[in-house]
Structure 1
Amino acid sequence: MGESVDEEVPKEQQARPGMTRRSILRRFGMGVAGFSALGGAVAVTQSAREQPARRPPPIPIAAPLRIDHVTVIDPRDGSRREDVSIRIRDGNIVSVSANERPPDFDEWAIDGRGRFVVPGYNNMHTHALQSDGPDMPLAMMLSEGTTGMRQMAGSSGMLEARAQSRLGTPQHAPALLQMPGSLLMPFTARSVEDVHRVIGDQKHRGANFIKVIDLDREVFFAAIDAAHQNGLRIAGHLPPSVTLKEAADAGMDCIEHLGAGGRVWFETSTDGAALRAEALNSDSSPTAGWLDHLPFAEQIFSTTFVQKRVKKMLLNPVLSDSAEAVSRLRRAIDTFDDDAAQRLVETFARQKTWHTPTLVRLRTQYRADDPAYAAHPWLSLLREDDRRDYDDTRQRFLDLPDTTRATYHDCYDMSLRLVGMLHAAGVALMTGTDGTGASPGQDLASEFRELAAAGLGPLDVLRSATTVPAAYLGRTGTMGATDVGMAADFVLLDADPLASVESLTRVAAIVRAGHFITVEEIRSVIDQFAG
């Protein structure tokens, strides 16, 4: 029954200029502060709630599998075991040992000679299930070696669909590791009483964690307490009225996108207090936020007209920055204070605040004029209307004044610098892309490269995709390593992953829930979806 990983696998295995983000939101009848914090949460209140209730064919139980002559890399300690066999039954690893005996009569044997095995990667910030058609982006994620994902926006409908096994996750997809309920925003949690009720309800419906976008200051801190009282972690973005240090000291578990909105630079500036005050005052208005508290606010936000406008704007939120906002960002960068940044980083380390920086999301915003994005291979997979929106958005960035684009470039360079400081201080970093799974430039391979540019070595990057997510999820007994008793979710690479970060992207095959799948098979599935 011997085969190589290159042989065929059986089928059954297979805005307008000058408008601020707040003013745009007010125009839509919302008035929610820090609208850029919505990040990749496009259309969650509508499309996620109306997720098709389809029941996919059950993934068949994997046949007993044995992969011989591989080198197993253990990211827990950086060790390697050469020329070993991995035996799998019922989707779990039953042995990792020297190849000392022939395969059992019922084992499907694979010759993995020359390949390196690492645990499956985890995308800890994705919105793949919000895609209009999630099957293709999910398959694209799997082709990168992603065997697990944390979906960052959900709804009551999605939680119910998952509980009833009708969420519609196909075979060629990563495992859904965690999902929240509806995003915490002013129109879903208007008061301290609201937030306790909402979080209790989400826990009851099966939410794995709480995702916060923007709340009133008092409600935000109450949300952290309510999440922890319900035994849940809380992750997401910060309201403009809350600093990153305050959030970390209050116990926020995981911060996404370095806090979102660029306000981190106010906390690392010698002029930070003044900059923060100016930013808060610029967002104030006698009527700001009043519509947040209307009972039909969520319905307004979920209209098709608003969703389409929001979806396009979120391709690059910085295009909605006012001249004043860009000026403040420039001042913050020019007055960067290493000592202040180090104190902030030490707060994260002391409070054990996790971070999913999603550098590829920040890069596609701040360096959208990179010529590589104009020729990205994933562009051909976009629908015609999405491609038009993408091209138009990129051109608008190219049309910005040179000084504005230079400020954004410097902002991204500072983001890399800060991530390097976080890593040096021992802050836990996790990989995430913030895309729907098919967003040009927002792929896991690119995230690996950006983390390397921030100063992480190959083993550090591997850990950010494997052992660190396993620790965050409390699943170190079942994931994060290729060892006996672990789930059979791992990646076969064509090059030594400890030699270079680029080797982590040279995926030959994936074992997902005990099923052996070559990259060629996944790509053929992607081609079918694209066709």
Structure 2
Amino acid sequence: MDDEGVDEEKLGPTRRTVLKRVGLGVLGAGAIAAVGVPVARNLTAKDPAISVVPRAAPLRIDQVTVIDPRDGSKSPGMSVIVRDGRITTVAATKDTPAGPDTWAIDGAGRFAVPGYNNMHTHVLQEERASLFMATMLAEGTTGMRQMAGTDDLLRFRAENRLPLGVHTPGLLAMPGELLMPWNAGSVQEVREEITRQKDLGADFIKLISVDREVFFEAVSWAHGQGMKIAGHLPPSVSPTEAVEAGYDSIEHFGAGSCIWIETSSDEKTLRGQQDLSGPVPGWFANLPFAGWLFSTDLVAGMAGKTLINPALSNSPQAVDLMRRALGSFDDTAAQEMLRRFAAGSTWQTPTLVRLRTQYVVDDPEYDNHPSLRMLSAKAVRDFQDARAEFMALPADTRAVYHQAYDMSLRMVKRIHDAGVPVMTGTDGPGKNPADLHTEFRELAAAGLRPLDVLRTVTTEPAAYLGRSDRMGAIAPGMDADFLLLDSDPLEDVRNLASVAAVVRAGHFLPRQEIDSLVEELLAAAR
């Protein structure tokens, strides 16, 4: 698809129309808010040291109840044997002779489940990456999909220089630089950028905000390169259009009001009233150093509290559009959207815990949320300042946001019931309280059963990544990334948080050991 012969009227806003958008206010607020977190930067001023994961000793866990998320079965009195970071045997303890070279653990009264996978995290972008990853491990996270990268991060991974190891989740996938107007301003540019990122070793493409024709070319070109593509939706592209184009994973329902517009009885009118110009001024996107400038602390500082809560940058017109879209929710339109979702192959990663800090941050829970202790003193102050600003919004504005979150919970249940695959992600850590166990709680509040929630963090990520033969279950041949829980996870979703021990790459890590490491790293960060 070339730029010549494109019907701009049908395709929506083009680079030319975006260039008409001028204003430092949009640069300082909208551009950063569209991303939600800073673009990834170097981990240090110089290349980090090479990280080596030691080989695990043979391990045997006896008398444990193995939970299989694939069918919801429970198998009590089992032994799980691990060698060289892989599960070799899962069999009844009474029928499994003990080996002389195997470290045996008594798992009586415990429940073994596959390790959890956080499929939307930005942890490698954080200064406290090691602390946050140890905290993720304590939550039971053994695998993660990093949702933003840079050329350096890709090189660091290729050279084993990322701060990964036994006491961190494994890195399942990472993209290159986010697709934005300055690196994907045209069909030709997006082809070149995707090809460049593939050559650098990116696992997938992360898209934030591009013109309509560039979006569809990005999906097509990424697939042609054998890569997945995931992320936000430009306002000119509806969720159904993205699904039917083959977009692999929609994050945060696409961001903004797109899903509420599509499920409105007045969709045509509301769509016509959207601001389709995108969050980044064209004059800025066209600068040769735009990508670098966007990643600097200067621009991040200009964004202020909108970096923490994008809702604070919404115009009165955007709030009114959301109000009218939510108020005109149409069940028939929603059913049609879900029917088309189910016919596609797009996963949904709603990141409810992130939407909650965006739309319901005035909840007393955030007065002193436990996750805040992991943030720097400045980050806590910034969060509380942004929260105070949210609480000072007009009551009717906050009511719209509360309704948006309530509708998000309802939509998760409807999406799940329609057979659309859902994955768990937090969009953290670093700027907001965003822990995995709260995400479990919110998925349950949406109406998912404990088994359904367990699948969103085990079997669904495995299927999405095409690794169901290596992860998502405790069975011979699987990677030795699994958990021991104190309580039955199929009885109550809260039991998913009862992590007694983590087996990471075959290494047995008692919860007390991980907690001690977290405290050491937290003390060092102060």
d(CA) in 2 for partners of 1:266, 1:257: 15
The equivalent of 2:142 in structure 1 is 147
d(CA) in 2 for partners of 1:428, 1:251: 14
Q: Could you say if the C-alpha distance between residues 52 and 241 of structure 1 is closer, same or farther in structure 2, counting changes exceeding 3 Å? A: farther
The equivalent of 1:43 in structure 2 is 39
Cα deviation, residue 57, structure 1 = 4.6
- After TM superposition, the structure 1 stretch with the greater mean CA deviation from structure 2, 289-298 or 180-189, is 289-298
The equivalent of 1:90 in structure 2 is 84
1:367 pairs with 342, 360, 367, which one?
360
* 2:463 maps to amino acid: A
Cα deviation, residue 317, structure 1 = 0.6
The equivalent of 2:127 in structure 1 is 132
SS of 2:235's equivalent in the other structure is coil
The equivalent of 1:179 in structure 2 is 174
SS of 2:274's equivalent in the other structure is helix
Question: Does residue 267 in structure 1 map to residue 262 in structure 2?
Answer: yes
* 1:429 maps to amino acid: V
* 2:34 maps to amino acid: A
SS of 1:183's equivalent in the other structure is coil
The equivalent of 1:202 in structure 2 is 197
The equivalent of 2:490 in structure 1 is 498
Q: Over the residues paired in the alignment, what is the CA RMSD in angstroms?
A: 2.2
d(CA) in 2 for partners of 1:170, 1:23: 48
8 A Cα contact 1:42 1:311, kept in partner: no
8 A Cα contact 1:120 1:148, kept in partner: yes
Q: Could you say if the C-alpha distance between residues 503 and 51 of structure 1 is closer, same or farther in structure 2, counting changes exceeding 3 Å? A: farther
**1:73-472 alignment to 2 at 5 Å?**
73-100=67-94, 101-280=96-275, 283=277, 288-310=281-303, 312-436=305-429, 440-472=432-464
Q: Could you say if the C-alpha distance between residues 149 and 52 of structure 1 is closer, same or farther in structure 2, counting changes exceeding 3 Å? A: farther
d(CA) in 2 for partners of 1:97, 1:25: 66
What per-residue deviation string (whole Å, max 9, x for no partner) do you get for residues 57-82 of structure 1? 52221111111110000001111111
Q: Could you say if the C-alpha distance between residues 225 and 329 of structure 1 is closer, same or farther in structure 2, counting changes exceeding 3 Å? A: same
Superposed structure 1 runs of 4+ greater than 6 Å apart: 22-25, 31-34
SS of 2:89's equivalent in the other structure is strand
1:515 pairs with 486, 493, 507, which one?
507
Cα deviation, residue 52, structure 1 = 5.3
d(CA) in 1 for partners of 2:331, 2:515: 45
8 A Cα contact 2:65 2:110, kept in partner: yes
- After TM superposition, the structure 1 stretch with the greater mean CA deviation from structure 2, 51-60 or 216-225, is 51-60
The share of aligned pairs that are identical, in percent, is 53
Q: Could you say if the C-alpha distance between residues 267 and 178 of structure 1 is closer, same or farther in structure 2, counting changes exceeding 3 Å? A: same
d(CA) in 2 for partners of 1:180, 1:98: 42
What per-residue deviation string (whole Å, max 9, x for no partner) do you get for residues 368-415 of structure 1? 001111111122222121111011011111111111111100010001
8 A Cα contact 1:360 1:446, kept in partner: yes
* 1:297 maps to amino acid: A
d(CA) in 1 for partners of 2:88, 2:406: 45
* 2:137 maps to amino acid: L
Unaligned stretches of 5+ in structure 1? Answer: 1-21
1:59 pairs with 34, 53, 59, which one?
53
Question: Does residue 529 in structure 1 map to residue 521 in structure 2?
Answer: yes
How many residues of Structure 1 are paired with residues of Structure 2 in the alignment?
504
- After TM superposition, the structure 1 stretch with the greater mean CA deviation from structure 2, 261-270 or 127-136, is 261-270
8 A Cα contact 1:32 1:186, kept in partner: no
* 2:387 maps to amino acid: R
- After TM superposition, the structure 1 stretch with the greater mean CA deviation from structure 2, 488-497 or 321-330, is 321-330
Cα deviation, residue 193, structure 1 = 0.8
* 2:297 maps to amino acid: T
The equivalent of 1:6 in structure 2 is none
8 A Cα contact 1:181 1:202, kept in partner: yes
* 2:365 maps to amino acid: A
Q: Could you say if the C-alpha distance between residues 447 and 284 of structure 1 is closer, same or farther in structure 2, counting changes exceeding 3 Å? A: closer
d(CA) in 2 for partners of 1:487, 1:469: 14
8 A Cα contact 1:135 1:170, kept in partner: no
* 2:397 maps to amino acid: T
Cα deviation, residue 425, structure 1 = 0.4
What per-residue deviation string (whole Å, max 9, x for no partner) do you get for residues 204-257 of structure 1? 111100000010111111100110000001000011111111111111111000
d(CA) in 1 for partners of 2:220, 2:202: 16
What per-residue deviation string (whole Å, max 9, x for no partner) do you get for residues 114-141 of structure 1? 0000000000000000111200000010
d(CA) in 2 for partners of 1:200, 1:51: 28
d(CA) in 2 for partners of 1:366, 1:32: 17
Cα deviation, residue 454, structure 1 = 1.2
d(CA) in 1 for partners of 2:375, 2:214: 39
SS of 1:84's equivalent in the other structure is strand
The equivalent of 1:4 in structure 2 is none
8 A Cα contact 2:22 2:283, kept in partner: no
Cα deviation, residue 279, structure 1 = 1.9
The equivalent of 1:473 in structure 2 is 465
d(CA) in 2 for partners of 1:145, 1:204: 33
SS of 1:147's equivalent in the other structure is strand
d(CA) in 2 for partners of 1:284, 1:130: 24
d(CA) in 2 for partners of 1:360, 1:266: 22
TM-score, length-scaled by structure 1:
0.91
- After TM superposition, the structure 1 stretch with the greater mean CA deviation from structure 2, 354-363 or 55-64, is 55-64
8 A Cα contact 1:457 1:501, kept in partner: yes
* 1:115 maps to amino acid: R
8 A Cα contact 1:36 1:260, kept in partner: no
Cα deviation, residue 30, structure 1 = 4.7
